[in-house]
Amino acid sequence: MDKVIDGKQIAKNIREELKSQISDQKAEGRVPGLAVVLVGDNPASETYVGMKEKAAEEIGIHSELHDVDSSISQEELLNLVDQLNNDNRIDGILVQLPLPDHIDELAVIEAIDPGKDVDGFHPINTGRLFSGQKDLLRFDPCTPLGIIELIERKGVDIEGKNAVIVGRSNIVGKPVAHLLLERNATITVCHSRTKDLKAETLDADILVAAVGRPNFITGEMVKEGACVIDVGINRVDGKLIGDVEYDSAYERAGAITPVPGGVGPMTIAMLMKNTVKAREYHGV
């Protein structure tokens, strides 16, 4: 079995599945609508937003970019979010982070209609995730959701497995722990204060590395046959590398994501999936 978990191919497969759903939604009267708000001229944010727009266009989602100057006031930005909340053509709203220092990010996130929060960062959506409410509408954060898709589509059974997450961020570490817990994994979340990290990672059937430190997880820290998900994107000497030392980890892993081409493409695919889900919720 090929060990590599090809995020590019899996994301492509998901986009093809979404095209069919969007075609049905169009026949019902309206395609999904996504509004992306970009504040200022952060080059990384501009690149990422461009990739989102391209993906939306490819599968038939109506996409709007609201590109505003970094000098915009918080009140003006909140007014823009309110307009989008009340725009019936828009099913999903994404305010690209980070925002300028003079703007309260949490206030902006909380201003987004939870039913349009396709990034999955609104406290109502995170609350429904952390309390395990599957029966209510909820949007899960795109990167953690993509990680679950990668694991499941590779054919790795999550139930009953030991899952170790290295990193406890609100964007990846904590939510992916809850998504794995919902699928009946036994969870350990490690961080900078963990006493013996290697002992913890060597017990992991599923190992998620999300610390933002290049080559932090070495092969000797990986259990034989483990599924290794590398969330890290670190630029070193002009090259993108992950949090996992790929070559040594590959030797021991049963399945592993590359960087680039692993988790990255899935984040955008899950944003598209959440937008299609929001369109289902809002109807025509």
Query: Which pLDDT score is estimated for 76?
Result: 98
pLDDT in tens, the chain (284 residues): 699 999 999 999 999 999 999 999 999 999 999 999 999 998 889 998 999 999 999 999 999 999 999 999 999 999 999 999 999 999 999 999 999 999 999 999 999 999 999 999 999 999 999 998 988 999 999 999 999 999 999 999 999 999 999 999 999 999 999 999 999 999 999 999 999 999 999 999 999 999 999 999 999 999 999 999 999 999 999 899 999 999 999 999 999 999 999 999 999 999 999 999 999 999 88
- The DSSP string of 154-178 is TT---TT-EEEEE---TTTHHHHHH
Longest dimension (CA), the chain: 57
- Comparing C-alpha atoms, which of 88, 89, 113, 98 is closest to residue 37? 98
Q: Which residues are CB-contacts of 19 (< 8 A; sequence separation ≥ 6)?
A: 59, 60
Is 233 annotated for ligand binding? Answer: yes
CA–CA distance from 94 to each of 100, 210, 268 (Å)?
Answer: 16, 22, 12
Is 131 annotated for ligand binding? Answer: no
Query: Which pLDDT score is estimated for 154?
Result: 97
Q: Name the one residue in this structure whose structure tokens are 């505003």.
A: 68
Decide: helix, strand or coil at residue 95.
strand
Distance of CA 215 to the CA centre of its chain: 21
**Alpha-carbon torsion, ordered 66, 47, 269, 64, to 10 deg:** 20
* Burial degree of 187 (CB within 10 A; 0-12, 13-18, 19+): middle
Token pair belonging to 267: 């984040």
Is 248 annotated for ligand binding? Answer: no
d(CA 14, CA 34): 18
All domains of the chain, ordered by start, with CATH? 29-113 (3.40.50.10860), 142-264 (3.40.50.720)
Is 168 annotated for ligand binding? Answer: yes
Catalytic sites, residue numbers: 52, 96, 119
